[in-house]
Amino acid sequence: MIFRLLDRGLTLVCIAAAVVAVVALFAGPSLIGAKKSTPAAAAKSGTPADPGAAVFASAGCGGCHTLKAAGASGAIGPNLDQLRPDAATVSAIVRSGGGPMPAFAGRLSDAQITAVSAYVASVAGR
Amino acid sequence: MGASESTESLPQRDSAASRLLLAGVLGAVVALTLGIYGRAHDPASDLTITLGFTNTITMKVWLATIALLFAVVQLMSALWLYGRLPLGAAPSWLGTFHRVSGRLAFLVSLPVAYHCLYQLGFQHSSTRVLVHSILGCAFYGAFAAKIVIVRSRGLPSFALPIAGGLTFALLVGVWLVSGLWFINNSGFPSP
Protein backbone atom coordinates (compact mmCIF):
# COMPACT_ATOMS: atom_id res chain seq x y z
CA MET A 1 0.00 0.00 0.00
CA ILE A 2 2.81 2.38 0.96
CA PHE A 3 4.76 1.39 -2.13
CA ARG A 4 1.74 1.97 -4.36
CA LEU A 5 1.14 5.45 -2.96
CA LEU A 6 4.83 6.19 -3.31
CA ASP A 7 4.77 4.83 -6.85
CA ARG A 8 1.88 7.08 -7.91
CA GLY A 9 3.35 10.14 -6.25
CA LEU A 10 6.76 9.52 -7.72
CA THR A 11 5.30 9.09 -11.19
CA LEU A 12 3.90 12.61 -11.03
CA VAL A 13 7.11 13.96 -9.51
CA CYS A 14 9.19 12.32 -12.27
CA ILE A 15 7.02 13.79 -15.01
CA ALA A 16 7.13 17.23 -13.39
CA ALA A 17 10.90 17.03 -12.84
CA ALA A 18 11.53 15.97 -16.43
CA VAL A 19 9.40 18.85 -17.73
CA VAL A 20 11.18 21.36 -15.46
CA ALA A 21 14.58 20.03 -16.57
CA VAL A 22 13.72 20.36 -20.25
CA VAL A 23 12.27 23.84 -19.80
CA ALA A 24 15.33 24.88 -17.73
CA LEU A 25 17.65 23.66 -20.50
CA PHE A 26 16.12 26.24 -22.81
CA ALA A 27 14.96 28.92 -20.36
CA GLY A 28 18.17 28.99 -18.36
CA PRO A 29 19.34 27.89 -14.93
CA SER A 30 17.81 30.89 -13.14
CA LEU A 31 14.55 28.97 -13.41
CA ILE A 32 15.89 26.51 -10.84
CA GLY A 33 17.79 29.05 -8.78
CA ALA A 34 21.24 28.29 -10.21
CA LYS A 35 23.57 30.99 -11.48
CA LYS A 36 25.27 31.37 -14.84
CA SER A 37 27.81 33.76 -16.26
CA THR A 38 28.72 33.80 -19.97
CA PRO A 39 30.90 36.06 -22.09
CA ALA A 40 27.74 37.69 -23.41
CA ALA A 41 26.52 38.34 -19.89
CA ALA A 42 29.90 39.75 -18.93
CA ALA A 43 29.85 42.07 -21.90
CA LYS A 44 26.37 43.29 -20.95
CA SER A 45 27.51 43.93 -17.40
CA GLY A 46 30.34 46.12 -18.61
CA THR A 47 33.22 43.72 -18.03
CA PRO A 48 36.25 44.84 -20.11
CA ALA A 49 36.60 42.84 -23.32
CA ASP A 50 39.64 40.63 -22.74
CA PRO A 51 40.07 37.70 -25.13
CA GLY A 52 41.53 35.67 -22.29
CA ALA A 53 38.48 36.40 -20.15
CA ALA A 54 36.25 35.31 -22.98
CA VAL A 55 38.18 32.05 -23.34
CA PHE A 56 38.06 31.54 -19.56
CA ALA A 57 34.28 31.90 -19.69
CA SER A 58 33.57 29.96 -22.87
CA ALA A 59 35.85 27.03 -22.01
CA GLY A 60 34.06 26.58 -18.69
CA CYS A 61 37.16 27.17 -16.51
CA GLY A 62 34.99 28.83 -13.88
CA GLY A 63 33.04 25.64 -13.40
CA CYS A 64 36.04 24.15 -11.61
CA HIS A 65 38.21 27.09 -10.55
CA THR A 66 37.70 30.14 -8.40
CA LEU A 67 38.88 33.36 -10.03
CA LYS A 68 37.35 36.45 -8.53
CA ALA A 69 38.13 38.69 -11.51
CA ALA A 70 36.08 36.39 -13.75
CA GLY A 71 33.28 36.03 -11.22
CA ALA A 72 34.09 32.33 -11.01
CA SER A 73 33.67 30.34 -7.82
CA GLY A 74 34.26 26.74 -8.89
CA ALA A 75 35.56 24.50 -6.16
CA ILE A 76 36.58 21.36 -8.03
CA GLY A 77 40.08 22.42 -9.03
CA PRO A 78 42.64 24.69 -7.35
CA ASN A 79 41.60 28.21 -6.34
CA LEU A 80 43.49 30.34 -8.87
CA ASP A 81 43.32 33.43 -6.66
CA GLN A 82 45.20 31.54 -3.97
CA LEU A 83 47.53 29.70 -6.34
CA ARG A 84 48.44 32.79 -8.43
CA PRO A 85 50.12 30.74 -11.20
CA ASP A 86 52.32 32.34 -13.84
CA ALA A 87 51.31 32.24 -17.52
CA ALA A 88 53.70 29.41 -18.41
CA THR A 89 52.28 27.17 -15.69
CA VAL A 90 48.70 27.88 -16.73
CA SER A 91 49.57 27.27 -20.37
CA ALA A 92 51.23 23.91 -19.63
CA ILE A 93 48.34 22.67 -17.50
CA VAL A 94 45.70 23.88 -19.97
CA ARG A 95 47.49 22.15 -22.85
CA SER A 96 48.25 18.83 -21.20
CA GLY A 97 45.83 18.61 -18.31
CA GLY A 98 46.74 17.56 -14.82
CA GLY A 99 45.09 15.32 -12.21
CA PRO A 100 41.38 15.24 -12.98
CA MET A 101 41.62 18.26 -15.31
CA PRO A 102 41.40 17.27 -18.99
CA ALA A 103 43.82 18.52 -21.65
CA PHE A 104 42.45 21.43 -23.67
CA ALA A 105 45.03 21.29 -26.47
CA GLY A 106 42.48 19.80 -28.85
CA ARG A 107 39.69 22.16 -27.88
CA LEU A 108 41.48 25.51 -27.71
CA SER A 109 43.79 27.04 -30.28
CA ASP A 110 47.32 28.13 -29.38
CA ALA A 111 46.14 31.75 -29.42
CA GLN A 112 43.27 30.97 -27.06
CA ILE A 113 45.57 29.11 -24.65
CA THR A 114 48.05 31.97 -24.71
CA ALA A 115 45.26 34.47 -24.10
CA VAL A 116 43.68 32.61 -21.22
CA SER A 117 47.09 31.91 -19.63
CA ALA A 118 48.03 35.57 -19.77
CA TYR A 119 44.61 36.56 -18.43
CA VAL A 120 44.72 34.17 -15.47
CA ALA A 121 48.29 35.13 -14.60
CA SER A 122 47.38 38.82 -14.73
CA VAL A 123 44.22 38.75 -12.62
CA ALA A 124 44.67 35.84 -10.20
CA GLY A 125 44.73 37.02 -6.61
CA ARG A 126 43.67 40.56 -7.45
CA MET B 1 -8.37 -23.12 -36.83
CA GLY B 2 -4.74 -22.80 -37.88
CA ALA B 3 -5.66 -20.44 -40.71
CA SER B 4 -7.86 -18.41 -38.37
CA GLU B 5 -5.05 -18.11 -35.81
CA SER B 6 -2.58 -17.00 -38.42
CA THR B 7 -4.93 -14.37 -39.84
CA GLU B 8 -5.67 -13.03 -36.34
CA SER B 9 -2.07 -12.97 -35.22
CA LEU B 10 -0.80 -11.04 -38.22
CA PRO B 11 -2.33 -7.70 -37.17
CA GLN B 12 -1.18 -8.34 -33.60
CA ARG B 13 2.35 -8.97 -34.79
CA ASP B 14 2.21 -5.85 -36.93
CA SER B 15 0.96 -3.87 -33.96
CA ALA B 16 3.72 -5.21 -31.70
CA ALA B 17 6.34 -4.46 -34.34
CA SER B 18 4.93 -0.95 -34.72
CA ARG B 19 5.13 -0.31 -31.00
CA LEU B 20 8.66 -1.67 -30.81
CA LEU B 21 9.60 0.57 -33.72
CA LEU B 22 7.92 3.51 -31.99
CA ALA B 23 9.91 2.82 -28.82
CA GLY B 24 13.15 2.63 -30.78
CA VAL B 25 12.43 5.78 -32.75
CA LEU B 26 11.41 7.68 -29.61
CA GLY B 27 14.58 6.57 -27.85
CA ALA B 28 16.71 7.62 -30.80
CA VAL B 29 14.95 11.00 -31.00
CA VAL B 30 15.48 11.65 -27.28
CA ALA B 31 19.16 10.66 -27.42
CA LEU B 32 19.82 12.67 -30.59
CA THR B 33 17.94 15.70 -29.27
CA LEU B 34 20.05 15.75 -26.12
CA GLY B 35 23.23 15.33 -28.15
CA ILE B 36 22.31 18.07 -30.59
CA TYR B 37 21.34 20.37 -27.73
CA GLY B 38 24.68 19.66 -26.04
CA ARG B 39 26.58 20.53 -29.19
CA ALA B 40 24.53 23.59 -30.18
CA HIS B 41 24.10 25.08 -26.71
CA ASP B 42 26.54 27.76 -25.57
CA PRO B 43 27.93 26.18 -22.38
CA ALA B 44 27.60 28.11 -19.14
CA SER B 45 30.87 29.11 -17.56
CA ASP B 46 29.76 29.09 -13.98
CA LEU B 47 26.65 27.08 -13.28
CA THR B 48 26.41 26.12 -9.64
CA ILE B 49 23.96 23.51 -8.42
CA THR B 50 24.79 21.98 -5.05
CA LEU B 51 21.42 20.77 -3.65
CA GLY B 52 22.91 20.93 -0.17
CA PHE B 53 26.22 19.25 -1.03
CA THR B 54 29.59 20.96 -0.56
CA ASN B 55 29.93 21.83 -4.25
CA THR B 56 28.63 20.87 -7.67
CA ILE B 57 31.02 18.01 -8.42
CA THR B 58 30.34 16.45 -5.02
CA MET B 59 26.62 16.65 -5.76
CA LYS B 60 27.17 14.99 -9.13
CA VAL B 61 29.34 12.17 -7.82
CA TRP B 62 26.94 11.41 -4.97
CA LEU B 63 23.75 11.56 -7.01
CA ALA B 64 25.24 9.55 -9.88
CA THR B 65 26.37 6.89 -7.41
CA ILE B 66 22.96 6.86 -5.72
CA ALA B 67 21.33 6.49 -9.16
CA LEU B 68 23.67 3.57 -9.84
CA LEU B 69 22.67 1.91 -6.56
CA PHE B 70 18.98 2.32 -7.41
CA ALA B 71 19.74 0.83 -10.83
CA VAL B 72 21.34 -2.20 -9.16
CA VAL B 73 18.18 -2.53 -7.07
CA GLN B 74 16.23 -2.36 -10.34
CA LEU B 75 18.31 -5.14 -11.84
CA MET B 76 18.06 -7.43 -8.82
CA SER B 77 14.31 -6.88 -8.38
CA ALA B 78 13.77 -7.49 -12.11
CA LEU B 79 15.74 -10.73 -11.93
CA TRP B 80 13.62 -11.79 -8.96
CA LEU B 81 10.41 -10.90 -10.80
CA TYR B 82 11.55 -13.02 -13.74
CA GLY B 83 12.37 -15.91 -11.41
CA ARG B 84 16.10 -15.68 -12.10
CA LEU B 85 17.12 -15.49 -8.45
CA PRO B 86 17.08 -18.47 -6.07
CA LEU B 87 14.80 -16.61 -3.67
CA GLY B 88 11.52 -18.36 -4.35
CA ALA B 89 8.40 -16.66 -5.70
CA ALA B 90 8.52 -12.88 -5.95
CA PRO B 91 6.42 -11.16 -3.25
CA SER B 92 3.39 -9.16 -4.36
CA TRP B 93 5.00 -5.82 -3.52
CA LEU B 94 8.12 -6.41 -5.59
CA GLY B 95 6.69 -5.01 -8.82
CA THR B 96 5.80 -1.72 -7.17
CA PHE B 97 9.14 -1.68 -5.35
CA HIS B 98 10.85 -2.17 -8.72
CA ARG B 99 8.99 0.78 -10.24
CA VAL B 100 9.70 3.02 -7.23
CA SER B 101 13.43 2.30 -7.41
CA GLY B 102 13.39 3.12 -11.13
CA ARG B 103 11.64 6.42 -10.58
CA LEU B 104 14.08 7.35 -7.82
CA ALA B 105 17.05 6.48 -10.06
CA PHE B 106 15.63 8.72 -12.79
CA LEU B 107 14.92 11.56 -10.36
CA VAL B 108 18.39 11.67 -8.81
CA SER B 109 19.99 11.47 -12.24
CA LEU B 110 18.25 14.61 -13.49
CA PRO B 111 20.31 17.29 -11.66
CA VAL B 112 23.50 15.54 -12.78
CA ALA B 113 22.38 15.36 -16.40
CA TYR B 114 21.14 18.94 -16.34
CA HIS B 115 24.49 20.24 -15.11
CA CYS B 116 26.36 18.12 -17.67
CA LEU B 117 24.23 19.36 -20.57
CA TYR B 118 23.94 23.01 -19.55
CA GLN B 119 27.42 23.59 -18.13
CA LEU B 120 29.52 21.34 -20.32
CA GLY B 121 27.49 20.27 -23.34
CA PHE B 122 28.40 17.39 -25.65
CA GLN B 123 32.20 17.26 -25.63
CA HIS B 124 34.87 15.17 -27.33
CA SER B 125 38.07 16.50 -25.77
CA SER B 126 39.17 12.94 -24.92
CA THR B 127 37.93 9.41 -25.54
CA ARG B 128 36.57 9.23 -22.00
CA VAL B 129 34.67 12.47 -22.37
CA LEU B 130 33.31 11.46 -25.78
CA VAL B 131 32.18 8.08 -24.44
CA HIS B 132 30.56 9.81 -21.47
CA SER B 133 28.71 12.24 -23.74
CA ILE B 134 27.43 9.46 -26.01
CA LEU B 135 26.42 7.13 -23.19
CA GLY B 136 24.73 9.94 -21.25
CA CYS B 137 22.52 10.85 -24.21
CA ALA B 138 21.90 7.19 -25.03
CA PHE B 139 20.86 6.45 -21.44
CA TYR B 140 17.92 8.85 -21.57
CA GLY B 141 17.01 7.55 -25.02
CA ALA B 142 16.99 3.98 -23.71
CA PHE B 143 15.00 5.12 -20.67
CA ALA B 144 12.35 6.72 -22.91
CA ALA B 145 12.18 3.57 -25.05
CA LYS B 146 11.83 1.42 -21.95
CA ILE B 147 8.93 3.56 -20.70
CA VAL B 148 7.10 2.98 -23.99
CA ILE B 149 7.83 -0.75 -23.90
CA VAL B 150 6.81 -1.21 -20.28
CA ARG B 151 3.50 0.54 -20.96
CA SER B 152 2.76 -1.53 -24.08
CA ARG B 153 0.83 -4.79 -24.09
CA GLY B 154 1.40 -7.76 -26.34
CA LEU B 155 5.06 -7.14 -27.09
CA PRO B 156 7.48 -10.06 -27.44
CA SER B 157 8.65 -11.30 -24.07
CA PHE B 158 12.28 -10.38 -24.83
CA ALA B 159 11.50 -6.68 -25.38
CA LEU B 160 11.31 -5.50 -21.78
CA PRO B 161 14.35 -7.40 -20.44
CA ILE B 162 16.43 -6.11 -23.35
CA ALA B 163 15.24 -2.52 -22.87
CA GLY B 164 15.79 -2.70 -19.12
CA GLY B 165 19.17 -4.37 -19.48
CA LEU B 166 20.29 -1.82 -22.03
CA THR B 167 19.17 1.08 -19.83
CA PHE B 168 21.01 -0.43 -16.86
CA ALA B 169 24.16 -1.08 -18.89
CA LEU B 170 24.20 2.49 -20.22
CA LEU B 171 23.83 3.96 -16.73
CA VAL B 172 26.66 1.76 -15.47
CA GLY B 173 28.77 2.88 -18.43
CA VAL B 174 28.05 6.56 -17.79
CA TRP B 175 29.03 6.15 -14.14
CA LEU B 176 32.20 4.19 -14.91
CA VAL B 177 33.63 6.95 -17.13
CA SER B 178 32.60 9.79 -14.81
CA GLY B 179 31.82 8.89 -11.20
CA LEU B 180 34.35 6.08 -10.89
CA TRP B 181 36.91 8.08 -12.89
CA PHE B 182 36.55 11.01 -10.49
CA ILE B 183 36.69 8.76 -7.42
CA ASN B 184 39.85 7.09 -8.74
CA ASN B 185 41.49 10.47 -9.33
CA SER B 186 40.28 12.48 -6.36
CA GLY B 187 38.74 10.03 -3.88
CA PHE B 188 35.13 9.85 -2.87
CA PRO B 189 34.11 13.39 -1.89
CA SER B 190 32.54 13.97 1.51
CA PRO B 191 29.05 15.42 1.14
- The mean per-residue pLDDT over the stretch A61-76 comes to 83
Confidence class of residue A13 from pLDDT cuts 50, 70 and 90? very high
pLDDT tens digits for B121-144?
Answer: 888 777 888 999 999 999 999 999
> Which of A65, A105, A95, A76 is CA-nearest to residue B182?
A76
| Predicted model pTM | 0.72
Instruction: Tell me if A14 and B93 make a contact (CB, 8 A cut-off).
Output: no
Instruction: Tell me if A63 and B97 make a contact (CB, 8 A cut-off).
Output: no
Give the distance from residue B181's alpha carbon to the nearest chain A alpha carbon, in angstroms.
8
Give the distance from residue B20's alpha carbon to the nearest chain A alpha carbon, in angstroms.
22
Who among A7, A24, A40 is closest to B114 (CB)? A24
Q: What is the C-alpha to C-alpha distance for residues B170 and B178, in angstroms, rounded to an integer?
A: 12
Question: In chain A, which residue's Cα lies nearest the Cα of B105?
Answer: A14
Give the distance from residue A52's alpha carbon to the nearest chain B alpha carbon, in angstroms.
13
Question: In chain A, which residue's Cα lies nearest the Cα of B57?
Answer: A76
Q: Buried b / exposed e across A51-73, counting CB within 10 Å, b at 16+? A: ebbbbbbbbbbbbbbbbebbbbb
Confidence class of residue A32 from pLDDT cuts 50, 70 and 90? low
Give the distance from residue B8's alpha carbon to the nearest chain A alpha carbon, in angstroms.
35
DSSP A68: G
Q: Buried b / exposed e across B152-183, counting CB within 10 Å, b at 16+? A: beebeeebbeebbebbbbbbbbbbebbbeebe
Beta bridge partners of A98: A101
> Which of A59, A52, A60 is CA-nearest to residue B46?
A60
Q: What is the C-alpha to C-alpha distance for residues A53 and A44, in angstroms, rounded to an integer?
A: 14
pLDDT tens digits for A91-111?
Answer: 888 888 876 787 888 778 888
Quick check: helix, strand or coil at residue B183? helix
Q: What is the C-alpha to C-alpha distance for residues B24 and B8, in angstroms, rounded to an integer?
A: 25
Predicted interface score ipTM higher than 0.85:
no
Instruction: Tell me if A58 and B100 make a contact (CB, 8 A cut-off).
Output: no
pLDDT tens digits for B58-74?
Answer: 899 999 999 999 999 99
Cβ-Cβ pairs closer than 8 A, A with B, add up to: 114
